[in-house]
C-alpha cells in the first residue's frame, strides 16, 4: 500500500563532520524502509478502509448508482439561472417605464412647503442634521434574514452624496418625483417576494432604494466620512453609457507644475474610476515630445489591475519643458485609431480627454488629418487657477463634439470628471428602445452588506420635449439621461440554482462573464472585501492556467457549448498544495444573458450513490445511530451543515443541530414535502454504513501511536472514535490567505469540504496533513492527520464515497523515529553519527510533506513549528532543496486578498516575500542526484523498488551535510504568472455594444 510523499532529511550541523561519521545511503535507506513498514501496516489496520468497502457491498440493496449527466446538469442549471435573471429583468423594465412616465408628468417647483414632501434620508442615523428635518421620515425597521440587516418594506430610503447640497431645487424636485417609485417597488416585491435591493441612481447623485434601510450599520462600521456616490458605482457606470475607448492626454509642460499638476494627477485618477471593464484606456503625456505614461503600448482593458498601473504612472509625471499640442494629439489619435487584430478594443465611443492649464494654439491641422468626420470626441479640462487663454481648448472640444470643463480647485474634480457620461448618454437617448437593454454587471460587493452580488441595469431616459425655437411649433426630443435603474441578485441565490450534492467534494460549477471574470467559482472568496473594491477574478487566475483552459474560456465567452476531459493541476482549497488530476469540463451559454456556465467533474464523480431507503423502519434504524446519547457506541458524530429541510435551519453548534435534526426526522420522516428527501436519505444511509465501521473499531485495541480514528462521507457524516476525541476534532484554517493574519479554528462539521478530504480523493496515496502553523500561538502540536479515500467498485463503476484515516500521536512517532535510527556501533566509538536522537547536537532529522511543510523533527524547537513551511524555518536549506530540483517554486497570486502592513522582524531568518506558502511557494517533488550530495527519492512506498544508487562524496552544502529521500511523481506544480495588467493576446473577450 502506498503512503503519501514524505521527504526525509538528515542534516549535519557541522561542516567538520567527516563522511565516515555520517550515515551512509544504505543506512538511511534502511531507516526509511523501517518507518515505511511501520506506518503502512499501522494505518491499514487502524483505518479500516477494507472493512468499509465490505460494508458498502453488504448494504448494496439500500442504494443505486446514478450517472451525473454533465450536459443535462449544465443545461438545467443554466435554464434556472436564466429564469431568475429574466424575472429580475421584467421588474427592471417596470421600474424604468414608470420612472420615465413619472418624470414626464412632474411639474417643477422652485420651493417646497413643509409637508409637501417626506422622505427618509438613509444617513439620518449617523449624522445630526436639523436643517431639513421638516421633510424627514423615521421608518420602523425590522431585522430581515434575506437582506441581513434592518429594513422597512413600507418606505424607500434616499442617499445623497456628501458633496451635494440636499436643499438645492434640483435635488428637492428629484426627491419629489422619485417618491412615487415606491408603489412600483412594492408591486414588484408582491409579484416576486425573493427580490432584493431595487434602486434608482440619478445623474444628480441622488439614489433611492427599496426597502428602506439605514445607510451604514453603526454596530459594524466606524462612523467615517461618507464618500459614496452612486455615479461611481460599477452598476451605474455600466448602465449610463456605452463601452468606450478613452485616451487621456496630459499636459506635462513646465507651466503645469505645482498645484496645477497635483490637481491634474487627482483629476486623472478620478477619471479612471468612471471606467468599467467594458472600456479601454491609456494615458499619454506631452511637453516638447509625447510619450506613454505607463508601460502600455496601446489601449488596455480598464480592469482593476490596469487602472492601478495607470494611476501609479500618473503620480510619476513631472512637469518640465514647453508645450507641443501637435505631438500630443498625434500620438493620441494614433493610439485610438490604430488597427491591430491582436489588440482588443471597445469599438464604440472613442474619446480623448485633454488635461491642461491652457493653450496658445488650436492644432487644427491635426484634427483635419485624423478627425475630419468627428468620430473621436474630445473633452478638454482647464485645470488650476491661472490667466492662460482658454479659447483654444474650448474650440477643440466644441469642434470635435465634446465638452469643455474647468477644474479650478479640488472640490470641482469629482463632479466635472464624471459629467462627460451625460454627453455620451445622448446617443443612447436618441436610440431609445434600441438602447434599452438590460445589462448584467461583474461581481462586486454590495454597499449595504448583502455580500457579493451582480446587478441588472437599465438606463432611464428623459422623455420630455424641449422647444428649441419659439417660432416652431414642433418640440425637440430631450437628449438627457435621467439615471439608471438597478436590481441586485445575490450570488447565494445563484448558487442555490446549481446544486452540487451529487457532484462530490471536488465537483463544482463556475460561470464567467464576457470579460472572462468568474461570478461563480470555489476560489471566488471575497469575505473580507470592502464595497469600494472590485471583485474581478479571471477564470485563468482562479485556476491553474493551461492551454486547454484558455480555449475553454474563449469558447465560453463566445457563447459556445462543449466538453473536454484532460489532466490538469488542481490547487487545494487553502492554496498550500497542488495535485495532478483528471477533470471533465462541460459548458454552455445562459440564454438571455452574457454569461456562460460550466460544470467540472473528476473522474470518480461521473457517478454517485443514490440512497434507496424509502421504508421508515430502515430510516429509523439508521437515524438511531445519530443520537447524541449513543456517541460512545457509534463515535462522536458530526453532520454537514446543510439545509436538509426548508424549516430546519442549520446551526453553528453541531450538537444542537444534530438534536434538532433527529427531532425533526422523528416527527416528520425524511420524505416530508419540505425536505430534500434525496439529501436526507443519503445522510441516513451514510450514518448506517459508518456506524458498522465504528462497531468494528470498538472491537479492536487501538495502537499507542494512534490518538483517534475517523471516517467521513460525501453524504455529510463524520464519525470520530473514540468519542472522547470528538470535541477536539477541528481543522485549522486561514481566515484569510495572509499567513500573518489572524487564524480561526473551525469545527469541521463539513469534513467533505476540508483540504485533506479533497486531496485524498485526488491521490491514491495516504495524505499526511499537519495542522496549519499558527504564528500567533507557539503551541506544541500533538497529532498529525493521515487520510485515504475509499475506492469502491460497484458493477464496474469506480466511486470514492468516503475517506478514512487516523490521527497519529506526534510524541509516540518521534520516539519511534529515534528508535528506528538507533544503530549499534560495533567499534564502540562515540564519534560516529548513527541516529536521530532527540535534540541531538550534531544531527537534525526532518520529515517534510510534498508541499514542503514540516511533519516531524527531532528538535523541540522544530516540533513546535510542525505545520510550518520549512522555508520559514530554515530558508537556506529550503533554497538548497529548490536549487537541487527536489522542490520547484512557482508563484501564484491571490488577487482578492487584502494586504496589511506587517512590521518585519530584524531577526528574520530569510526573506518573507520568498517564503509565503499561501500565495507564492507551491512546490513540486522531483528526482535529484549529483556529486554534491546523494538522494533517495523515497516516499514511504511499500511497492516501490528502490533504484540503485552509487556512493557519492559528501560536501558542504550551505554549511551543512544533507541526506534525504522522496519519490518520482510530479506534485505541487503551480502556474506561472505574467506582469499584472499585461494583456495577453490569447485571452479573447467580447465587448457589449449598443
d(CA 766, CA 43): 9
DSSP 534: B
Please, which pLDDT band fits residue 494 given cuts at 50, 70 and 90? very high
Max Cα–Cα distance, the chain, nearest Å:
121
Written as one string, the DSSP assignment of 446-503 is -TTS--EEEEEEEEEE---EE---TT-SPPEEP--EEEEEEEEEEHHHHHTTS--TTS
Query: Percent of the chain beyond pLDDT 90?
Result: 40
Nearest to 323 by CA among 275, 369, 242, 392: 392
Residue 168 to residue 160: CA distance in whole angstroms? 12
CA–CA separation, 643 vs 661, rounded Å? 10
Q: pLDDT tens-digit profile of 867-882?
A: 888 888 888 888 888 8
Q: How far apart are CA 764 and CA 580, in angstroms?
A: 11
Q: Determine the pLDDT at residue 904.
A: 42
Angle at 601 between CA 595 and CA 606, to 5 degrees: 130
Is pLDDT above 70 for 15?
A: no
| Selected residue with higher pLDDT from 428 and 758 | 758
Name the 3-class secondary structure at 676.
coil
Task: State yes or no: pLDDT of 614 exceeds 90.
Answer: no
435 or 754, greater pLDDT: 754
pLDDT band at 312 (very low <50, low <70, confident <90, very high): very high
Tens of pLDDT along 919-943?
233 233 322 222 222 222 222 222 2
Q: What is the mean pLDDT of residues 200-206?
A: 93
- Closest C-alpha among 348, 350, 301 to residue 516: 301
- DSSP classification of residue 517: B
pLDDT of 338 over the 90 cut: no
What gap in Å lies between CA 946 and CA 936, rounded to an integer?
8
Judge whether 122 and 212 are in contact, CB under 8 Å: yes
| pLDDT for res 553 | 95
Question: pTM to 2 decimals?
Answer: 0.82
Least confident range from 354-358, 790-794, 836-840: namely 836-840
Count CB neighbours of 453 within 10 A: 26
Helix, strand counts (H, E) of the chain: 26, 39
Are the beta carbons of 424 and 460 closer than 8 angstroms? no
Residues 6+ positions from 950 with CB-CB distance below 8 Å: 934
Q: What pLDDT, on the 0 to 100 scale, is given for residue 12? A: 52
Q: Give CA torsion, residues 551, 553, 559, 565, to 10 deg.
A: 60
Long-range Cβ pairs for the range 96-101 (8 Å, 24+): 96/436, 96/458, 96/459, 96/460, 96/485, 98/180, 98/181, 98/184, 99/178, 99/181, 99/200, 99/460, 99/482, 99/483, 99/485, 100/460, 100/461, 100/462, 100/463, 100/482
Residue pLDDT, tens place only, 882-902: 888 777 776 666 666 655 544
Residues for the chain: how many in total?
994
Higher pLDDT, 292 or 449: 292
Closest residue by Cα to residue 734 from 918, 862, 873 = 918
Identify the burial level of 932 via C-beta atoms within 10 angstroms of its C-beta, where 0-12 means exposed, 13-18 middle and 19 or more buried. middle
Q: Using alpha carbons only, give the angle 968, 850, 4 rounded to the nearest 5 degrees.
A: 75
For 88, phi and psi rounded to 5 degrees?
A: -70, -35
Residues 6+ apart with CB under 8 A from 462: 100, 103, 429, 478, 479, 480, 481, 482
Contact between 888 and 927 (Cβ < 8 Å):
no
Q: Report the mean per-residue pLDDT for the chain.
A: 79
Tell me the mean pLDDT in the region 460-475: 66
Amino acid at each position: 500500500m502506498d503512503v503519501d510523499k514524505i521527504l526525509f532529511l538528515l542534516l549535519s550541523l557541522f561542516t567538520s563532520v567527516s563522511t565516515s561519521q555520517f550515515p551512509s545511503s544504505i543506512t538511511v535507506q534502511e531507516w526509511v524502509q523501517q518507518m515505511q513498514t511501520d506506518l503502512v501496516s499501522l494505518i491499514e489496520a487502524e483505518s479500516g478502509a477494507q472493512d468499509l468497502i465490505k460494508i458498502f457491498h453488504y448494504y448494496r440493496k439500500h442504494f443505486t448508482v446514478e450517472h451525473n449527466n454533465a450536459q443535462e446538469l449544465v443545461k438545467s442549471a443554466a435554464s434556472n439561472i436564466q429564469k431568475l435573471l429574466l424575472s429580475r429583468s421584467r421588474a427592471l423594465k417596470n421600474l424604468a417605464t414608470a420612472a420615465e412616465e413619472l418624470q414626464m408628468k412632474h411639474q417643477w417647483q422652485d420651493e417646497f412647503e413643509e409637508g409637501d414632501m417626506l422622505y427618509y434620508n438613509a444617513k439620518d442615523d449617523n449624522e445630526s442634521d436639523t436643517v431639513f428635518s421638516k421633510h424627514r421620515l423615521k421608518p420602523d425597521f425590522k431585522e430581515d434574514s434575506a437582506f441581513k440587516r434592518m429594513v422597512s418594506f413600507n418606505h424607500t430610503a434616499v442617499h445623497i452624496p456628501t458633496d451635494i447640497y440636499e436643499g438645492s431645487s434640483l435635488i428637492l424636485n428629484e426627491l419629489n418625483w422619485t417618491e412615487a417609485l415606491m408603489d412600483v417597488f412594492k408591486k414588484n416585491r408582491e409579484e416576486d417576494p425573493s427580490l432584493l435591493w431595487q434602486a434608482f441612481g440619478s445623474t444628480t447623485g441622488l439614489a433611492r432604494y427599496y426597502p428602506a434601510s439605514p445607510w451604514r450599520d453603526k454596530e459594524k462600521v466606524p462612523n467615517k466620512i461618507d464618500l459614496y456616490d452612486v455615479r461611481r458605482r460599477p452598476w451605474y457606470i455600466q448602465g449610463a453609457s456605452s463601452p468606450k475607448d478613452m485616451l487621456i492626454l496630459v499636459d506635462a509642460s513646465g507651466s503645469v507644475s505645482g498645484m496645477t499638476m497635483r490637481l491634474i494627477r487627482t483629476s486623472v485618477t478620478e477619471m479612471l474610476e468612471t471606467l468599467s471593464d467594458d472600456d479601454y484606456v491609456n494615458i499619454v503625456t506631452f511637453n516638447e515630445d509625447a510619450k506613454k505614461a505607463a508601460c502600455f503600448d496601446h489601449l488596455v482593458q480598464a480592469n482593476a489591475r490596469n487602472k492601478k498601473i495607470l494611476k501609479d504612472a500618473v503620480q510619476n509625471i513631472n512637469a518640465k519643458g514647453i508645450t507641443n499640442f501637435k505631438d500630443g494629439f498625434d500620438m493620441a489619435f494614433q493610439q485610438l485609431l490604430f488597427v491591430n487584430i491582436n489588440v482588443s478594443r471597445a469599438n464604440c465611443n472613442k474619446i480623448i480627454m485633454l488635461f491642461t492649464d491652457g493653450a496658445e494654439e488650436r492644432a487644427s491641422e491635426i484634427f483635419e488629418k485624423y478627425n475630419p468626420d468627428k468620430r473621436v470626441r474630445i473633452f478638454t479640462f482647464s485645470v488650476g487657477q491661472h490667466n492662460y487663454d482658454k479659447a483654444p481648448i474650448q474650440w477643440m472640444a466644441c469642434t470635435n463634439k465634446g465638452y469643455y470643463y474647468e477644474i479650478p480647485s479640488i472640490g470641482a474634480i469629482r463632479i466635472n470628471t464624471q459629467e462627460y457620461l451625460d454627453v455620451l448618454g445622448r446617443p443612447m437617448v436618441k436610440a431609445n428602445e434600441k438602447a434599452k437593454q438590460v445589462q448584467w454587471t461583474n461581481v462586486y460587493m454590495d454597499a449595504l452588506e448583502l455580500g457579493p452580488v451582480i446587478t441588472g441595469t437599465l438606463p432611464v431616459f428623459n422623455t420630455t420635449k424641449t422647444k428649441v425655437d419659439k417660432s416652431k411649433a414642433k418640440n425637440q426630443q430631450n437628449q438627457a439621461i435621467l439615471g439608471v435603474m438597478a436590481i441586485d441578485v445575490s450570488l447565494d441565490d445563484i448558487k442555490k440554482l446549481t446544486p452540487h450534492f451529487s457532484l462530490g467534494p471536488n465537483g463544482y460549477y463556475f460561470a464567467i462573464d464576457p470579460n472572462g471574470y468568474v461570478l461563480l467559482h470555489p476560489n471566488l472568496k471575497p469575505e473580507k472585501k470592502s464595497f469600494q473594491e472590485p471583485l474581478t477574478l479571471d477564470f485563468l487566475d482562479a485556476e491553474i492556467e493551461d492551454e486547454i483552459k484558455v480555449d475553454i474560456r474563449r469558447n465560453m465567452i463566445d457563447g459556445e457549448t462543449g466538453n473536454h476531459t484532460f489532466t490538469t493541476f488542481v490547487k487545494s482549497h487553502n492554496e498550500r498544495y497542488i495535485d495532478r488530476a483528471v477533470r471533465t469540463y462541460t459548458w454552455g451559454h445562459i440564454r438571455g444573458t452574457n454569461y456562460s456556465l460550466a460544470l467540472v467533474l473528476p473522474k470518480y464523480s461521473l457517478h454517485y450513490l443514490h440512497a434507496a431507503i424509502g421504508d421508515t423502519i430502515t430510516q429509523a434504524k439508521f437515524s438511531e445511530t445519530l443520537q447524541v446519547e449513543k456517541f460512545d457506541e457509534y463515535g462522536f458524530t458530526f453532520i454537514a451543515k446543510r439545509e436538509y429541510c426548508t424549516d430546519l435551519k442549520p446551526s453553528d453548534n453541531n450538537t444542537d443541530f444534530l438534536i434538532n435534526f433527529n427531532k425533526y426526522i422523528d416527527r416528520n420522516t425524511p420524505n416530508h414535502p419540505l425536505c430534500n428527501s434525496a439529501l436526507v436519505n443519503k445522510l441516513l444511509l451514510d450514518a448506517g454504513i459508518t456506524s458498522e465501521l465504528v462497531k468494528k473499531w470498538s472491537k479492536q485495541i487501538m495502537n499507542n501511536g494512534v490518538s483517534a480514528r475517523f471516517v467521513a462521507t460525501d453524504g455529510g457524516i463524520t464519525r470520530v472514535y473514540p468519542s472522547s476525541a470528538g470535541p477536539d476534532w477541528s481543522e485549522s484554517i486561514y481566515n484569510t490567505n495572509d499567513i500573518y493574519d489572524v487564524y480561526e479554528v473551525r469545527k469541521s462539521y463539513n469534513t467533505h469540504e476540508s483540504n485533506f478530504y479533497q486531496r485524498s480523493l485526488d491521490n491514491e496515496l495516504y495524505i499526511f496533513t499537519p495542522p496549519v502553523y499558527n504564528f500567533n500561538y507557539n503551541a506544541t502540536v500533538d497529532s498529525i492527520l493521515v487520510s485515504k479515500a475509499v475506492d469502491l467498485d460497484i458493477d464496474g463503476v469506480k466511486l470514492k464515497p468516503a475517506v478514512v484515516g487516523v490521527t497519529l500521536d506526534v510524541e509516540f512517532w518521534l520516539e519511534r523515529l529515534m528508535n528506528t535510527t538507533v544503530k549499534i556501533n560495533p567499534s564502540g566509538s562515540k564519534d560516529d553519527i548513527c541516529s536521530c536522537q532527540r535534540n541531538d547536537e550534531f544531527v537534525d532529522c526532518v520529515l517534510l510533506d510534498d508541499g514542503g511543510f514540516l511533519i516531524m523533527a527531532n528538535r523541540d524547537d522544530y516540533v513546535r513549528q510542525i505545520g510550518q513551511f520549512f522555508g520559514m524555518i530554515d530558508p537556506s536549506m529550503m533554497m538548497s532543496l529548490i536549487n537541487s530540483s527536489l522542490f520547484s517554486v512557482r508563484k501564484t497570486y491571490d488577487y482578492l486578498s487584502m494586504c496589511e502592513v506587517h512590521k518585519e522582524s530584524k531577526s528574520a531568518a530569510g526573506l518573507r516575500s520568498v517564503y509565503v506558502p499561501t500565495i507564492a511557494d507551491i512546490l513540486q517533488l522531483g528526482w535529484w542526484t549529483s556529486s554534491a550530495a546523494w538522494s533517495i527519492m523515497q516516499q514511504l512506498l511499500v511497492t516501490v523498488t528502490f533504484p540503485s544508487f552509487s556512493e557519492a562524496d559528501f560536501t558542504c552544502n550551505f554549511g551543512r551535510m544533507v541526506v534525504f529521500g522522496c519519490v518520482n511523481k510530479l506534485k505541487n506544480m503551480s502556474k506561472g504568472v505574467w506582469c499584472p495588467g499585461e494583456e495577453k493576446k490569447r485571452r479573447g473577450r467580447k465587448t457589449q455594444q449598443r
